[in-house]
Structure 1
């Protein structure tokens, strides 16, 4: 589907094609501000995957399947020149919440910046009808792109801090034997437990925005297959586990360690129940043991402004702050234009007039029903009764 904007700028927004990949890579090299430090690496990986698997991914985008929206990429074009690009993706299985992963504009174009960026955002808002909420994460120091999003209705939701833990500190943590007797591997049968842990670990507003469900914590066949291939070819390896509390029959902590190639830092997602923050040293010790096996340069871990205990512990072990980001969100309401139905066209008076009996009801064998009919006739006299009364008045 193409989206042609007003003729004053004559810009067309359309889905990405294979011939656009070179122009998008050129935009990446020109861009001074992406969303955050991981955006450039993630975008380069996305472009590499899109270049390598373009035909299968294009085929998967044509019919409903779990990977249909993995590469929702659009470009802004004028006179066969790519001036901007945007990549979006759903964050939950119901596709009610979407995120803006990357947005690029050509700084050499005279109307670059907010104008093209706003048109790309507006195209996504209007064409993706499933989305009710849009989110994105951006470095707090990228003022120009932050201004673009604020001018398009995005509001701050939470603030994140990314921490880097040096290898020597991780080796020291690995010397401690973690006391996690109920650390279990993760599979799809544990989705209910992980969903409950995720729900209780975040504020209500974030819970409403992300709108996650049990299916969001299950891995489908396509994800499992892709993950297996990535592990075989040495691109990445994912380790994850959760701590089960038998008395409460609930998950109280969960980690997901993404181990990448040797020259890239590992990234870890850690979720801990607010009532069990004493698990931070034990969970970090377990993660450090996995890290020491791979001999990586550093480990990246995030904390939110609503997790003061995590930030306090990371400062205690000597972790270094490397980046501050801002989580923004925006709601979208689509107006439905429908023609009035045939029932709406009917006049109420006409409907009630048609419900009146055309003649006197047939006497019934039930006495109470006859009395009810007589009362109804007295309350609503027929036209013949009116005529009879007029004749009596004339006489």
Structure 2
């Protein structure tokens, strides 16, 4: 059997020299190139070493690391979890506190209460103020071993703090009764409590070197330490800032109508200015400055046992990248109490606030349903009434 020849197409290579030249000179050329490359690299390395040696030999070096402490940044113990912090500003009207607020009423009262919600990713903070004259359900609360203050179907919100203090005689019970009231009426879980006293607020502002704020119009208030502020950019020291947030009556910036809701607006403006000042001084991005500020402020604060100095620093540090635009202030939506024109009740819109905070969603802008109503000055306890809205009030706070 004869095999068929297979035809293959050939590929022609063009050579610049005879094919057999590869056999005799290829390895030699490779060795020459390799030796040249090694020589170049070696020379270059030698030159680099020589330069490095000459530079290093001209340096005077010392070792300080083992003698200098590195700032320790505490770890956020609740990283990845949202937080609800109840902040209470106390109205201590005795001694120095009385001089600052302009009266001498005895006892401890909660002058300001805010829920501070910190998002789980630490990118967002919502602050919701609760008007002190809100009529809410006051649940029973403990005021000592075996001592309980009974529930009250309807009462002013700030009576929660007063009941705890009056019957328990301690911040522990004042704060506990307030937490019980907030949790019952909102359905939120309060993770931490912070109480700030008047003298402490002054110290905190002064520790920042004052706060820069834009006053929308001339402000005067004789009862608030004879407060006088001109419209425009101002740098407020601690005492002046306190007088502004405490002012209830006078002229300018809502003082003429004596509204507690307008007072919340002024308080939030001061808080926002405080945040802006802190950010401008890199307070949240400089661990040494932050530690110094927290240390200086500790005497101003009464906090729960699970919130120590390291925890405060760690939480603040975890917010170092937050944008000021992501710190928003709100007031609980309220309407006129149908049974008392000097008091207010929470609207249905308030429930939306609480539901959003529960699931760590941002609060949307406040509803447009709010309209002012005529204020009166015949409140039974001598305080000024809140502004009110014409929307039908909610009965959600009644058990």
TM-score band w.r.t. shorter chain = under 0.3
More strand by percentage: 1
- Which structure is richer in relative contact order (CA contacts within 8 A, separation 6 or more)? 1
* The structure with more radius of gyration: 2
Task: Give the structure with the higher percent helix.
Answer: 1
TM value normalised by structure 1: 0.23
